[in-house]
């Protein structure tokens, strides 16, 4: 069971002002707030097992909920080694530098108060930079009619900032003044407005209420023993893995190669769920033990890097569905789930511009039709990402996770020895059979990729500002998939992604038990709980892809209109 938290620090630390903290960040220091303590985590960046990007997205913010959700009790205690001070009262989050936050050191005489340098418009993401969100799908199932929106201030800030009101796509070319606002900006404002209507307002008092209720929910999760791992459940899981793998070998011996490949694909599909649990320390809650389990499953048996997955996945859990930050929705030029990707955004994860180039313009036009075929080959891309991570040594080179690279490299050698040499080369008779075996095994495991993206592709991609609470952001950007309990093994816990994002370290066999508590929490704070059926969820994803395709077509017409106007003006000159 998750132990009770006790983060008492014996030393007396100085009380730091918001301006002092901002000045440190302006000098390049990596400052994070945790339980009213000010942490300077610069020394920890090279050691952080989850990668440096996850930490950088927390700079200048109160990361208490993110830290508790993603880290063990021991890790939380370790962080307190980096305390340099304390804060008093509620903290108004800065926008982290990696997300575009601009800092300068203030003199005490000119420094604004901690609440003076942002307003409600900034809180809902209108000052600074704009971003996109998705309109809610009609197939979304809200818990019931009692899940209503809470608005601490009924005043519509966003409507005040947009004098023309929300712009419909069909009106844009005719009515929008292209000289003053771009088509993408218009979509951004419209979709932020839609999100602002559905969710509690993003100001400090309202979000602090959400935070308090979420922390109370976490205490209920702990008290009800939902962090306890079910050994019986994992015994059944392991019997399934062994059964599929054994059937693969048996069919291989009897030369039923296609059926053998099918069983291997089922083995990989099921084992990924175990690797996911281990990567989140959801099995033993011990970092080293769970990591070794994850590497054995992912690298030795699956040929994929657990270290790559953790670096990628931790960022995904912190900035879920942010087009320029979340690598899980950055699939240009193959897919785009937000119109903002049509503006050639720079990815802060990959440190490169996601070009909306000629190739993207062609592929995004047909993305509703290429979605499933491309996902069928997703495992090949995971090999590429895994080797990129391992060969470039992107993981920690020092600290408790440094030795995992060597174990992963051994795992990769082992995988390609048993699969590449032992099965493909030695046990299969010819090139065509080898090709069939590879394709069938890899495509059989591909429903996993559908499950991974299903809970996010149709949800909001809006940035509502740095004051939005962790809990609200997770529920706004993630949906759950409804299925009967007897099908839980097929989804592997991924059908409860919203609950998992709130409590990543809760073992997946307890997520269904936690669902009732999360539903009650959503009703209490007025956050819609999105629950789709599997088919409805897939329709919503295809609908989102189609919507972005239409937006891309309209954008092209807008650009043609601007070009024609420019030609006319040049002719008059």
pLDDT in tens, 246-299: 999 999 999 999 999 999 999 999 999 999 999 999 999 999 999 999 999 999
Structure tokens at 91: 């903290």
At residue 128, the pLDDT reads: 35
Over residues 326-353, the mean pLDDT reads 94
Strand-pair partners of 86: 15, 37
pLDDT band for position 567 (cuts 50, 70, 90): low
Over residues 353-360, the mean pLDDT reads 94
Instruction: Give the SS3 label for residue 416.
Output: helix
Show the domains of the chain with their CATH numbers. Answer: 18-99 (3.10.120.10), 204-536 (no CATH)
pLDDT(423) > 50: yes
Higher-pLDDT residue of 563 and 180 is: 563
Could you tell me which of 399, 47, 441 has the C-alpha nearest to residue 244? 441
At residue 12, the pLDDT reads: 84
Strand-pair partners of 62: 33
CB 165 within 8 A of CB 155: no
Could you tell me which of 400, 350, 316, 330 has the C-alpha nearest to residue 70? 316
Please report, for residues 41, 98, 435, the alpha-carbon distance to residue 28 in angstroms, rounded to integers and kept in the order given. 11, 11, 52
Least confident of 161-175, 475-489, 544-558: 161-175
Least confident of 184-188, 217-221, 540-544, 560-564: 560-564
At residue 521, the pLDDT reads: 97
At residue 307, the pLDDT reads: 96
Q: What is the 3-state secondary structure (H, E, C) of 460-511?
A: CCCCCCCCCCHHHHHHHHCCEEECCHHHHHHHCCHHHHHHHHHCCCCCHHHH
pLDDT band for position 480 (cuts 50, 70, 90): very high
Give the C-alpha separation, 130 to 111, whole Å. Answer: 26
Give the C-alpha separation, 153 to 24, whole Å. Answer: 34
What pLDDT, in 10s, does the model give residues 547-556?
A: 999 999 988 8
Over residues 175-201, the mean pLDDT reads 76
* Residue 400, burial from CB neighbour count under 10 angstroms (0-12, 13-18, 19+): middle
Chain centroid to CA 213: 22
What pLDDT, in 10s, does the model give residues 301-334?
A: 999 999 999 999 999 999 999 999 999 999 999 9
C-alpha torsion angle, residues 31, 465, 500, 140 (rounded to 10): 180
Higher-pLDDT residue of 11 and 388 is: 388
Q: What sign does the dihedral 167-172-174-176 (CA atoms) show?
A: positive
Strand-pair partners of 556: none
Burial letters for 493-510: b for 16+ Cβ neighbours within 10 Å, e otherwise?
A: bbbbbbbbbbbbbbbbbb
Give the C-alpha separation, 26 to 393, whole Å. Answer: 29
Could you tell me which of 226, 306, 317, 314 has the C-alpha nearest to residue 274? 306
At residue 179, the pLDDT reads: 35
Beta pairing, strands 480-482 & 531-533: parallel
Rounded to the nearest 10 degrees, what angle do helices 378-391 and 447-457 cross at?
80
Over residues 432-447, the mean pLDDT reads 96
pLDDT band for position 118 (cuts 50, 70, 90): very low
pLDDT band for position 571 (cuts 50, 70, 90): low
């Amino acid at each position: 069971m998750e132990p009770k938290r006790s983060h008492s620090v014996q030393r007396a630390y100085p009380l730091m002002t918001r301006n002092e903290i901002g000045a440190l960040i302006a000098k390049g220091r990596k400052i994070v707030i945790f339980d009213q303590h000010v942490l300077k985590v610069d020394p920890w960046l090279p050691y952080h097992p989850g990668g440096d990007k996850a930490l950088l997205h927390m700079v200048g913010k109160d990361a208490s909920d993110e830290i508790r959700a993603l880290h063990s009790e021991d890790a939380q205690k370790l962080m307190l080694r980096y305390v340099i001070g304390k804060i008093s009262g509620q903290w108004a989050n800065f926008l982290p530098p990696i997300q575009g936050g601009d800092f300068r050191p203030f003199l005490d005489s000119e420094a604004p108060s901690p609440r003076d340098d942002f307003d409600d418009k900034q809180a809902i993401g209108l000052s600074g930079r704009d971003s996109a969100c998705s309109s809610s799908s009609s197939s979304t199932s809200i818990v019931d009619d009692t899940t209503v929106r809470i608005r601490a201030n009924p005043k519509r800030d966003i409507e005040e900032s947009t004098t023309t009101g929300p712009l419909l796509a069909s009106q844009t070319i005719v009515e929008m003044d292209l000289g003053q606002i771009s088509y993408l900006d218009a979509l951004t404002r419209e979709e932020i407005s839609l999100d602002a209507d559905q969710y509690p307002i993003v100001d400090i008092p309202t979000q602090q209420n959400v935070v308090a209720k979420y922390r109370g929910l976490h205490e209920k999760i702990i008290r009800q023993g939902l962090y306890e791992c079910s050994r019986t459940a994992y015994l059944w899981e392991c019997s399934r893995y062994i059964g599929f793998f054994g059937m693969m070998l048996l069919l291989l011996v009897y030369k039923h190669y296609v059926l053998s490949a099918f069983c291997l694909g089922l083995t990989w599909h099921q084992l990924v769920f175990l690797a996911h649990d281990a990567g989140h320390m959801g099995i033993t809650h011990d970092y080293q033990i769970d990591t070794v389990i994850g590497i054995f499953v992912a690298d030795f048996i699956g040929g994929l890097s657990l270290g790559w997955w953790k670096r990628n996945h931790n960022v995904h859990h912190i900035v879920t569905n942010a087009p320029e930050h979340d690598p899980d929705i950055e699939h240009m030029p193959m897919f785009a789930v937000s119109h903002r990707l049509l503006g050639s955004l720079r990815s802060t994860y990959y440190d490169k511009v996601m070009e909306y180039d000629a190739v993207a313009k062609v592929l995004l036009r047909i993305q509703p039709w290429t979605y499933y075929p491309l996902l069928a080959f997703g495992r090949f891309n995971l090999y590429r990402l895994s080797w990129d991570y391992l060969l470039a040594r992107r993981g920690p080179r020092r600290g408790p996770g440094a030795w995992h690279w060597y174990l992963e490299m051994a795992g990769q050698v082992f995988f390609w020895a048993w699969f590449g040499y032992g099965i493909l080369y030695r046990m299969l008779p010819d090139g065509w059979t080898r090709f069939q075996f590879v394709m069938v095994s890899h495509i059989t495991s591909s429903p996993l990729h559908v499950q991974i993206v299903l809970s996010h592709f149709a949800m909001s991609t809006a940035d509502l500002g740095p004051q939005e609470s962790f809990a609200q952001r997770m529920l706004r950007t993630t949906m759950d998939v409804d299925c009967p309990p007897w099908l839980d093994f097929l989804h592997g816990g991924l059908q409860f992604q919203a609950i998992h994002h709130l409590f990543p370290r809760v073992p997946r066999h307890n997520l269904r038990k936690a669902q009732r508590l999360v539903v009650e929490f959503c009703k209490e704070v007025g956050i819609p709980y999105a629950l789709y059926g599997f088919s409805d969820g897939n329709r919503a994803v295809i609908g989102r892809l189609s919507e972005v395709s239409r937006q891309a077509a309209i954008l092209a017409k807008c650009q043609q209109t601007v070009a024609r106007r420019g030609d006319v003006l040049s002719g008059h000159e």
